[in-house]
Structure 1
Amino acid sequence: MKMDIPILGIDVSKATFNVALLETDNKFKNRKFANNPKGFEELQAWLLSNKLTDLHACMESTGRYGNQLAMYLHKLGFKVSVVNPARIKAFGISKLTRVKTDKADGKLIAIFCQVMRPRLWQPTPEEIMLVKQWVDRLDNLIAFKIQESNRLECIECLDASISGHIKTSIVSLDQQIQNAEENIKQLIQSHPDLANKAKLLASIPGIGVKTTAYILALLPIEKFASAKKLIAFTGLNPKINQSGTSLNKHKSISKMGNARLRKAFYMSALVAIRYNPMVKDFAERLIEAGKTKMTTVIAAMRKLIHIVYGVLKNGTPFTVNAGKNEKIVMGNLNSLT
């Protein structure tokens, strides 16, 4: 396949990254670098030695392991794509790939980029990155507290000195959680755009402070053309499972999105079903129609996402009357459990 510019397939790991340079003559060059600032500079020098001033770099989304490299290449002016690993894996299966090494993975990513031409990546604004880091830290602290609390379930099995130490740890974690929540709040309020979005989200009954932080940190509304695509991003879209004569298989949600967002919207939906007039009315109609409790909750989650999308896209606070005039497509309600 003819290419306009060379492609750089990058397989990223914690300590290193392998690159496969696919040149316009369809020949490969491979190198391995340390996944740190020095390694990034060595990569730049290697690219310059190959007289490359333009290329399309492609890598899997690996979170913190690849973010700094993607940012570095973007700042150099190169095109960058960060792709869901599931897409690369499926592409490899379609090509009957049998070899699994870092070098082979780099080549596969380069070929994927050549064939599929994934959309270009844009770096997340610094203020959102900082909020995300604090949200990540808050999640870690909450997980640590749960672990410590679980250790006290059999307190009679523990020596008093151990249980006392665990209790002290929980008190410390409570303070750290409170500090993290306050830092997140201050960060949001210190940035005009985030503060305005937080104010809009606060107008939606059921969307609390913590869910607001998750939305601002993990849900890039502006990148989605519709609420339907946003629902797919959170993994709440129906997963259809039909084959041959098996047409009545149990339907489920795809769960191919961000699990943390689903958890946040689940808790918000439980509140919204009680206190958000639009969602409450919607849920009551589903229950009257014979839908299960879980189907109703997931439908309420999707309803909330539609509301969030409309409020942030239009830049107007939520009102029940405005919502009644919106056409909100909820999909097949039998496909939500």
Structure 2
Amino acid sequence: MDIHRSFAQAAFLQDGQIKREQRVELVHDRLVKFAKTLSIEDEVVIEATGNSAAVERILRPFVKRIVVANSRMVRAIAYARVKTDKIDAAILAKLHAGGFLPEVWIPDDDTQRQRRHTAERMGVLEQVVRTKGRIHSILHANLIPKYSGHLFGKTGKKWLAGLPLPDDEKAIVGRLVDELECNSDQLAKLDMTIIRNALEDPRVVRLMTIPGIGPIVASTVLASIGDVSRFETPEKLSSYFGLTPKVRQSGDRPARHGRISKQGNTHARKMLVEAAWSAKTAPGPLRAFFGRVQRNRGAPAAAVATARKLAVMIWYVLRDGTEYAYARPAFTAMKLRKAALKAGAPREYGKAGPGRDYWIKEIREREADYVRRAEQAYERMVVAWKEKPPKAPAKAAAPG
């Protein structure tokens, strides 16, 4: 089925021949009526589009299997000068029959729900960032110096209201501040929903033992991954996030490594890069790794390299069902407690909570000293790794 916005062109392949062609309107009732004409032994092939998930969900109970094709790879394999809906539908059927169709993993309903939540959050967050940028640009255009405190806090908003701006621009700033408050409230509600669901998932709790990863990052990454067993190696998971470099090699020429591919889930990749910047501030091997790359290639490259390292760690944590090797139990408990409070958990006064150990100085220092020694061990390994062994003396040539 070649899917469009309002209709789909279907081609029925049997015994290597197109037996029938049909146009199906993508309205719920008519699509259900079409699905009832199919056999339970049929296999349906569709391309990954914006409405393919709804089509897959409706057709699933009526057929043997639904196959979702990778649109980009199908386009590269089946390039044709003559391109029509009927030809595209027939090509999808023949590629699947021949075993050459590049498939896309179909997430379950729970994963789809998580993806919708995280995608909605990223959309609201982008609106917040865009609104703040517009306010900063107005201040910059009017030669207003930077505010020393939190510009979008209570006192910062009072400062904005009293600026000597032209009347029209002052009205624009007022509307932008109101829009920012509305978007911030929406973001807080989405965070509460996502965190509440995340804390019930044991995978999220294990991922939060890794420095820099909180409930939002863990939820976004898990929504993107779904079932980690579909990735055979951590390198494939890193490639899925678009964190591996492009490689070009032909003939006898050496391979050239370029920038990262940036393919796959954009939201998860952004979250991992943000987590890498946060991991830079926590003692441990990750901070040492960030510093080593930063000294050689700069901070932005170090953040991307650390994000790829986080993807590798995530793969092992999810595959083995274990915590991060250099986890700090008291620090993790404090992170979980803060997340629970953000999700709406009641505050408990008068008794020790689950994160109390972090506020005991001896326990906190003992854990920090443990990961600090691991960081120093990594730095010593890097120094020894860079030192080249002495060259062996050249052997005398044998007579004759």
Which TM-score band (shorter chain)? 0.7 to 0.9
Residues 246 and 127 of structure 1, relative CA distance in 2, 3 Å threshold: same
SS at match of 1:251: strand
* Matched-pair contact (CA < 8 Å) for 1:201–1:308: yes
2:42 is matched with which residue? 55
Aligned residue pairs, count:
301
**Given the alignment of the two structures, is residue 275 of structure 1 paired with residue 262 of structure 2, yes or no?**
no
* Matched-pair contact (CA < 8 Å) for 2:207–2:213: yes
* Matched-pair contact (CA < 8 Å) for 1:80–1:120: no
1:16 is matched with which residue? 7
Partner of residue 310 from structure 1, selected from 307, 316, 331: 316
Partner of residue 177 from structure 1, selected from 176, 181, 187: 187
Residue segments in structure 2 that go unaligned for 5+ positions in a row = 140-164, 328-370, 375-400
1:34 is matched with which residue? 25
**Given the alignment of the two structures, is residue 140 of structure 1 paired with residue 140 of structure 2, yes or no?**
no
Aligned residue identity for 1:260: H
* RMSD of equivalent CA atoms: 2.6
* Matched-pair contact (CA < 8 Å) for 1:242–1:248: yes
1:238 is matched with which residue? 245
Partner Cα separation in structure 1 for residue 63 and residue 13 of structure 2: 18
Partner Cα separation in structure 2 for residue 285 and residue 246 of structure 1: 30
1:213 is matched with which residue? 219
Greater mean deviation of Cα atoms: 84-93 or 269-278? 269-278
1:154 is matched with which residue? 138
SS at match of 1:154: helix
Q: Which aligned runs of 4 or more in structure 1 are off by greater than 4 angstroms?
A: 117-123
Residues 318 and 276 of structure 1, relative CA distance in 2, 3 Å threshold: farther
2:204 is matched with which residue? 198
TM-score in terms of structure 1 length? 0.80
Equivalent residues in 2 for 1:124-139, closer than 5 Å: 124-139=107-122
The Cα shift of 1:318 comes to: 0.9
SS at match of 1:31: strand
1:256 is matched with which residue? 263
Aligned residue identity for 1:177: L
The Cα shift of 1:254 comes to: 2.2
Partner of residue 174 from structure 2, selected from 164, 172, 192: 164
Residues 59 and 16 of structure 1, relative CA distance in 2, 3 Å threshold: same
The Cα shift of 1:122 comes to: 6.4
* Matched-pair contact (CA < 8 Å) for 1:204–1:276: no
Aligned residue identity for 2:83: K
* Matched-pair contact (CA < 8 Å) for 2:240–2:264: yes
Instruction: State the Cα deviation string for residues 182-237 of structure 1 (Å, max 9, x = none).
Output: 01112233xx4xx2111111111111222112112112223212211111111122
The Cα shift of 1:268 comes to: 0.9
* Matched-pair contact (CA < 8 Å) for 1:12–1:60: yes
Instruction: State the Cα deviation string for residues 44-91 of structure 1 (Å, max 9, x = none).
Output: 2443xxxx331221122114x010111222222421111221111111
Partner of residue 72 from structure 1, selected from 53, 58, 61: 58
The Cα shift of 1:172 comes to: 0.8
* Matched-pair contact (CA < 8 Å) for 1:131–1:188: no
The Cα shift of 1:265 comes to: 0.9
1:110 is matched with which residue? 93
SS at match of 1:240: strand
* Matched-pair contact (CA < 8 Å) for 2:13–2:19: yes
Partner Cα separation in structure 2 for residue 149 and residue 291 of structure 1: 30
Partner Cα separation in structure 2 for residue 196 and residue 250 of structure 1: 38
Partner of residue 297 from structure 1, selected from 294, 300, 303: 303
Instruction: State the Cα deviation string for residues 257-289 of structure 1 (Å, max 9, x = none).
Output: 22222111111112223315121223344456x
Partner Cα separation in structure 1 for residue 131 and residue 224 of structure 2: 27
Percent identity of equivalent pairs: 21
* Matched-pair contact (CA < 8 Å) for 1:33–1:42: no
TM-score in terms of structure 2 length? 0.68
Partner of residue 90 from structure 1, selected from 71, 76, 84: 76
Aligned residue identity for 1:67: A
Residues 147 and 15 of structure 1, relative CA distance in 2, 3 Å threshold: farther
The Cα shift of 1:307 comes to: 0.8
